[in-house]
Amino acid sequence: MIKVFHRASVILNANERPSVLNDWILRHKWLRMTQCRTIARSALVALFALCTLWPAQATAASELQKQMVRDMKKCGSTTEEVTCVVEGKDEWLFLQESLLNATKRWTDNTPQIIAFKDSLESRGIKLIVVPVPDKLQIVPEYYSDKAKKGINLPQYKKWVQKLRKKNVTVIDALDKFKELHKEQGNEAPLFEPYESHCTGPARFVLAKMAADSIAPLLYGMNRKRYPLRDTIVDGTGNLYDLLHGKEIDYKIKEQKVLGTDGYKYRGSKKAPIIIIGDSNAGQGKSYGAQIGAYIASLTSVETFTISKVGGGNIGPQMFKGKRRFLEGKKAVVWVFDGRELYGHFKAPEF
């Protein structure tokens, strides 16, 4: 009761105050009313935007999803990997697994990766995880007009964050690849129409990011020079071969790495840096342009590559029975295709 009476008396006194103060109160009320109208208009504009833009975006995403499902059905499965080529625009080709990775619910494979990191760490070896950005995410506009605004997978960022919280070194090159593709386009392409693997310039970007992570481990080590040389080689066109059952003849520019003998880089099993993984780890090896060769050139420290086609998810078991081989190693760089992140990974075995 006392508070109510007090407020009433204040209002009464205010009405009896000089006109100057009354004018100030009126102006203050007018200002508040104007602010309220502005906020209301802003809210209506925002509501209109939500009602018009979100449905449009949702429709585009829905149409893209439907197209992916149709393409996967043509390959024979919308839930399991099938070795099958999906045709995009302007003769660009993609793997069915890329669509699967973009549409399927991901399995949590981070515990196996964390266990692999812990196992290597107990042996004094650092693990660097290198998921190669998937072709579909970097050049989505060549898959479909419906994908011009990009294909974003929020589960990927969560995957990276979850590993980094457990102190796993992850080379996250996705945004870097997208940025370079936007800037360079076909002048220095990161992917080719007929090939599932990324190009030499893309591999060099991954190697540079991995080399920067390894650098602190290499102080005081003997250095050797592994120079780069520009060359022109035959394109492999693995997707064209898979689709048509025959090879396609075309040339690509690559930078190859030379060993200390002046020939293509090879590396030895005694190297302190080991690169393991699927065919992405071995791509370019026949002419000294694999990721491991680029890391050797960037760090001036020898590397050795062990790759297995289709073996991206078995990295944690690639040292089974090879405990002595790991003695004296400083780092393991695990390279595998980002389109496999939805699936199961093997638990580590030594």
Tens digit of each residue's pLDDT (9 = 90 or more) over 212-240: 999 999 998 989 999 999 999 999 999 99
Sheet holding 303-307, edge to edge: 169-170, 126-132, 331-337, 273-277, 303-307
Q: Rounded to 5 degrees, what are φ and ψ at 165?
A: -65, -25
Q: Residue 54: which residues within 8 A CB-CB, separation 6 or more?
A: none
pLDDT at position 312 is 81
**Which pLDDT does position 59 carry in this prediction?**
59
What mean pLDDT is reported for the chain? 87
Q: What is the pLDDT of residues 169-221, one digit of tens each?
A: 999 999 999 999 999 988 889 999 999 999 999 999 999 999 999 999 999 89
Average pLDDT (265-272) is: 95
Which residue ranges make up each domain of the chain?
A: 2-56, 107-340
Write down how long the chain is.
350
pLDDT tens-place string over residues 291-332:
999 999 999 999 999 999 888 889 999 999 998 999 999 999
Res 53: pLDDT = 36
- 92, 143 contact by CB (below 8 A): yes
Residues 6+ apart with CB under 8 A from 169: 126, 127, 128, 129, 213
Report the alpha-carbon distance of residue 68 to residue 94 in Å, rounded.
Answer: 11
Q: What share of the chain is helix, strand, coil (3-state, %, to 5)?
A: 50, 15, 35
Decide: 279 and 336 in contact? Cβ < 8 Å: no
pLDDT tens column, 19-60:
444 554 455 555 455 555 544 454 444 444 434 334 444 555
Q: For residue range 111-152, what is the model confidence (pLDDT) as tens digits?
A: 999 999 999 999 999 999 999 999 999 999 999 999 988 999
